[in-house]
RNA sequence: GCGCCUGUAGCUCAAUUGGAUAGAGCGUCAGCCUCCGAAGCUGAAGGUUGUGAGUUCGAUCCUCGCCAGGCGCACCA
């Protein structure tokens, strides 16, 4: 990566002029893309940071760094500006060589950061017997993007869908099912019917304590292995999986493991026993809890007063099982913001149990409606499948409005890719940690910073290649080197080479939006280039170089979108 | 009450975690298709970064106090 090459060189330079603090220099010196094109391509601000410590003027330090006579071949210009900024302009010849290397590299320069190390990703994790609604989309899409990004960086990724298939809701559901289910409706739409039954039974439990007691009994029977309740439970899980699989297929999401909470049900007692044996958990107010005073956190309950286990227990059992079986270096959980406290508690307990795997909670803001939060009981949920349908419908309207000549099934396919891509991109292109207020127009945006803008840029490049082949049938792109003659194409070249940095950043921050931001910037730069720099009309040599550069942009766009789980089309 | 998060152009969001003149899209206004795909491009207007202090060469970013909103806080997950 460009920044690595520059950083390494800068570290040596700083270490040479600050021999007393070489170790710290090697730790901290960084280079970053220039904030303003006029300054150069990259910059380094560390003369200012070190000046304080050595009590010397920052500008003098910077000048000393810049003064060395052995200027490496990748730097064309190195200058000092303002209080001590080091501005670097890269050499065109070196940029061209880097582009040639990128063109020959199937990884497009993405480094092998993982080196085979294992990352386990826990995401999506919907509850059985409830429909997937738009609140589930963020975990699924962000988690899947993190999955793809880590795989690209050479990690061994295990994506695990930790279904909510063993909670207290099953007592309510089983009793409701026995009393209210409509077999015809169940055949027609199982999940909708189960949802109706659940809501009705839930209402009963709120009004009638006796009903609630009977729900608890059903739950106890299920957990004790009662054959009838077990059969019902299996049926519910099967219905839900069918629906989930349908949605996942549409979203292009695949898991390596689908292990719901039920998978760990026999481990729960052992977790509590271990905590007690190690003196970490003790009885309090009838429950078994772990006190977390050092961390200044509330107590973590691992067994309720009624003897039942809860979420924290399940998570601890799950973690232990994962460590035993896969020994992951890192486990990433993707959930909404409401679970922050829970994860802080859970991680604290895990550490006390000696867990050394790096555990990360990636949380995202809740999805809301303009009128407030939505809930199953208020009946104002928007189902995920309906969102996807609507996305495809709107995209199809745009395709038709554009006067597409393509046959209907091709238009349908374009609408599918554009619509689903728009939904995903709307979520992935912004910082996950903000609350989002759902609106159809935003989720399905088809212009501006959106998937269709990127897909359009991509399709235009595919067209460029076709046009080139058509007009210059004897042309052979591979015979011509890449050259940089126009400022805009040079700018585009630098952007293309920054792709690996965007991927690394997205992984480091667990923020796929870093890639989305980068791709949008790349597509914008490309569009300006496309509009303002002639290439098929350029002279031979320049023409081939520019068509090849276009091809590299296309490769990066395709790969980048793929990392976000968004498909591309050659025609749109 | 305590904790976490958010507040940036009329609206939706960026700003590479302390860097230079805070950038995009939508919307508004003015231009660009006999031309490599106009789902595009060029330009204009639009800002006391919620607010008040502090830290330093330098603050949207760090510290403290306020204001507004969201989400949590012992037996749901």
Nucleotide nearest to A546 (CA to C1'): B36
Nucleotide nearest to A169 (CA to C1'): B76
> What integer pLDDT is reported at residue A438 of this predicted model?
83
Nucleotide nearest to A430 (CA to C1'): B13
Protein CA at A572 to nucleotide C1' at B23, angstroms: 29
Tell me, yes or no, whether A444 lies in a domain. Answer: yes
Tell me, yes or no, whether A52 lies in a domain. Answer: yes
Tell me, yes or no, whether A553 lies in a domain. Answer: yes
Protein CA at A18 to nucleotide C1' at B55, angstroms: 27
Nucleotides of B under 7 A from a protein CB: 3-6, 12-17, 19-21, 24-26, 36-42, 56-58, 69-77
Instruction: Out of A42, A71, A90, pick the residue that ends a domain.
Output: A90
Protein CA at A35 to nucleotide C1' at B58, angstroms: 15
* CA–CA distance, A120 with A123 (Å, rounded to integer): 10
Q: Residue A64's domain is classified under what CATH number?
A: 3.30.1360.70
Closest C-alpha among A209, A191, A201 to residue A169: A201
Inter-residue contact A84 to A59 (CB < 8 Å):
yes
Protein CA at A417 to nucleotide C1' at B17, angstroms: 35
Protein CA at A351 to nucleotide C1' at B3, angstroms: 21
Protein CA at A149 to nucleotide C1' at B75, angstroms: 39
Protein CA at A505 to nucleotide C1' at B3, angstroms: 29
Tell me, yes or no, whether A167 lies in a domain. Answer: no
Inter-residue contact A185 to A194 (CB < 8 Å):
no
Protein CA at A447 to nucleotide C1' at B44, angstroms: 21
Residue segments in chain A with a per-residue pLDDT below the cut of 70: 69, 370-373, 375-379
Render pLDDT for A69-108 as a digit per residue (tens, 0 to 9): 678 999 999 999 988 999 999 999 999 999 999 999 999 9
Protein CA at A35 to nucleotide C1' at B22, angstroms: 11
Protein CA at A497 to nucleotide C1' at B72, angstroms: 43
Inter-residue contact A464 to A535 (CB < 8 Å):
yes
Nucleotide nearest to A547 (CA to C1'): B36
Residue nearest to nucleotide B70 (CA to C1'): A435
Tell me, yes or no, whether A478 lies in a domain. Answer: yes
Instruction: Out of A58, A90, A122, pick the residue that ends a domain.
Output: A90
Task: Please count the other Cβ atoms lying within 10 Å of the Cβ belonging to residue A439.
Answer: 12
Instruction: Out of A71, A90, A109, pick the residue that ends a domain.
Output: A90
Q: Is A401 exposed, middle or buried (0-12, 13-18, 19+ CB in 10 A)?
A: exposed
Task: Tokens for A313, please give them.
Answer: 């227990």
Nucleotide nearest to A502 (CA to C1'): B16
Residue nearest to nucleotide B58 (CA to C1'): A83
Protein CA at A358 to nucleotide C1' at B16, angstroms: 24
Tell me, yes or no, whether A500 lies in a domain. Answer: yes
Nucleotide nearest to A305 (CA to C1'): B75
Tell me, yes or no, whether A501 lies in a domain. Answer: yes
Alpha carbon A481 to chain centroid, angstroms: 36
Tell me, yes or no, whether A77 lies in a domain. Answer: yes
Residue nearest to nucleotide B56 (CA to C1'): A52
Task: Tokens for A520, please give them.
Answer: 């949008």
Nucleotide nearest to A168 (CA to C1'): B76
Protein CA at A431 to nucleotide C1' at B50, angstroms: 20
ipTM: 0.95
Nucleotide nearest to A463 (CA to C1'): B37
* CA–CA distance, A231 with A225 (Å, rounded to integer): 10
For residue A306, give the DSSP letter.
T
Residue nearest to nucleotide B75 (CA to C1'): A304
Nucleotide nearest to A80 (CA to C1'): B20
Write out the residue range of the structural domain in which residue A46 sits: 2-90
Render pLDDT for A273-329 as a digit per residue (tens, 0 to 9): 999 999 999 999 999 999 998 888 999 999 999 888 999 999 999 999 999 999 999
Packing angle of the helix pair A137-152, A227-251 (nearest 10 deg): 60
Q: Residue A403's domain is classified under what CATH number?
A: 1.10.730.10
> What integer pLDDT is reported at residue A505 of this predicted model?
94
Protein CA at A528 to nucleotide C1' at B41, angstroms: 7
Number of domains, chain A:
2
* CA–CA distance, A133 with A374 (Å, rounded to integer): 10
Task: Tokens for A529, please give them.
Answer: 């280039």
Closest C-alpha among A462, A473, A460, A483 to residue A544: A483
Nucleotide nearest to A341 (CA to C1'): B72
* CA–CA distance, A569 with A572 (Å, rounded to integer): 6
Residue nearest to nucleotide B69 (CA to C1'): A435
Residue nearest to nucleotide B22 (CA to C1'): A35
């Amino acid at each position: 990566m460009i920044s690595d090459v520059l950083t390494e060189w800068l570290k040596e330079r700083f270490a040479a002029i600050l021999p007393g603090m070489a170790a710290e220099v090697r730790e901290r010196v960084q280079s970053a893309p220039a904030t303003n094109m006029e300054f150069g391509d990259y910059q380094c601000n560390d003369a200012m940071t070190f000046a304080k410590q050595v009590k010397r003027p920052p500008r003098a330090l910077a000048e000393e760094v810049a003064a060395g006579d052995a200027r490496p071949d990748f730097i064309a210009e190195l200058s000092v500006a303002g209080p001590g900024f080091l501005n670097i302009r890269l050499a065109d010849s070196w940029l061209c060589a880097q582009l040639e290397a990128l063109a020959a590299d199937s990884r497009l320069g993405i480094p092998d950061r993982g080196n085979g190390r294992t990352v386990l990703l826990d995401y999506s994790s919907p509850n059985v017997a409830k429909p997937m609604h738009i609140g589930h989309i963020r975990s699924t899409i962000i988690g899947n993007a993190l999955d793809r990004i880590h795989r690209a960086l050479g990690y061994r990724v295990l994506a695990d869908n930790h279904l909510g298939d063993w909670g207290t809701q099953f007592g309510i559901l089983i009793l409701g099912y026995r009393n209210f289910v409509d077999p015809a409706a169940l055949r027609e739409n199982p999940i909708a019917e189960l949802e109706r039954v659940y809501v009705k039974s839930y209402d009963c439990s709120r009004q009638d304590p006796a009903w609630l007691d009977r729900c608890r009994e059903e739950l106890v029977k299920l957990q004790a292995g009662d054959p009838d309740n077990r059969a019902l439970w299996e049926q519910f899980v099967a219905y839900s999986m069918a629906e989930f699989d349908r949605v996942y297929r549409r979203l292009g999401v695949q898991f390596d493991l689908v292990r719901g909470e039920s998978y760990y049900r026999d481990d729960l007692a052992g977790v509590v026993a271990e905590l007690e044996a190690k003196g970490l958990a003790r009885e309090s107010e009838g429950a078994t809890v772990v006190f977390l005073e050092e961390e200044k956190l509330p107590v973590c309950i691992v067994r309720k007063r009624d003897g039942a286990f809860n979420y924290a227990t399940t998570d601890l059992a799950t973690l232990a099982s994962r460590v035993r079986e896969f020994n992951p270096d890192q486990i990433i959980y993707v959930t909404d913001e409401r679970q922050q406290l829970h994860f802080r508690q859970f991680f604290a307990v895990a550490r006390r149990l000696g867990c050394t795997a790096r555990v990360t909670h990636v949380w995202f803001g809740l999805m809301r409606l303009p009128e407030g939060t939505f809930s199953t009981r208020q009946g104002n949920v928007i189902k995920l499948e309906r969102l996807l349908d609507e996305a495809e419908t709107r995209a199809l309207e745009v395709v038709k409005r554009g006067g597409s000549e393509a046959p209907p099934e091709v238009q349908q396919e374009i609408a599918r890719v554009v619509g689903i891509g728009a939904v995903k991109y709307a979520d992935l292109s912004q910082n996950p940690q903000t609350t989002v207020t759902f609106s159809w127009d935003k989720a399905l945006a088809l212009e501006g910073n959106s998937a269709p803008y990127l897909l359009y840029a991509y399709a235009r490049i595919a067209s460029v290649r076709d046009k080139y082949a058509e007009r210059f049938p004897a042309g052979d792109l591979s015979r011509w080197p890449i050259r940089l003659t126009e400022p805009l194409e040079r700018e585009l070249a630098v952007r293309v080479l920054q792709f690996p940095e965007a991927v690394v950043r997205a992984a480091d921050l667990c923020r796929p939006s870093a890639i989305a931001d980068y791709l949008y910037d790349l597509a914008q730069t490309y569009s300006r280039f496309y509009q303002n720099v002639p290439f098929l009309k350029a002279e031979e040599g320049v023409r081939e170089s520019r068509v090849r550069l276009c091809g590299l942009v296309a490769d990066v766009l395709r790969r980048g979108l793929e990392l976000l789980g968004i498909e591309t089309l050659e025609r749109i």
